[in-house]
Amino acid sequence: MPEKEKLRIDKYLWAIRMFKTRTLASDACKAGRVKLESNNIKASHEVKIGERYQISKGPERKVILVAGLLESRVDAKKAVDYYQDITPVEQTTAFKSMFHAPVLKRDRGTGRPTKRDRRETDDLKDNFFEKPEEPAEEH
């Protein structure tokens, strides 16, 4: 792939597969979810090799370092050559631990759950996702 000297950030983020469409990348820039040195940047910002960007996509936070300029979208295996993911480990593990929910499986051949089984399953789920109660304030 030929490298370009000037490249917009929205096009770069789309090309390295950080966002599914260029419009989503542009919208993320407008919403302040793409930052350069803690400053919001516009979608028209020119990318330079060696710059460090903070990208927020929902609960996920990434920090990337530009390793090369990529004008057009390529497959994921080639795209990783054009950036380095330098997200701190504690951010990565915090994101992954958010999605650990109990997996409820039934043994094969036991049939459909009874009403009692269903209630027990619902109670288990409710207790898992329940926020801990705060102690009452004393007056």
Reported as a pLDDT band with limits 50, 70 and 90, residue 73 is: very high
pLDDT in the model for residue 123: 84
pLDDT in the model for residue 21: 94
Q: Which of 48, 47, 50, 57 is nearest to 25 (CA)?
A: 57
∠45-74-88 over CA atoms, to 5°?
Answer: 60
8 A C-beta contact, residue 71 and residue 10: no
Is the confidence at residue 132, as pLDDT, over 80? no
**What is each CA distance from 124 to 2, 57, 60, 119, in whole angstroms?**
55, 30, 27, 9
Reported as a pLDDT band with limits 50, 70 and 90, residue 24 is: very high
* Average pLDDT for 30-38: 93
Averaged confidence pLDDT in the chain: 84
Q: CA quadruple 46, 47, 51, 53: dihedral positive or negative?
A: positive
pTM score: 0.65
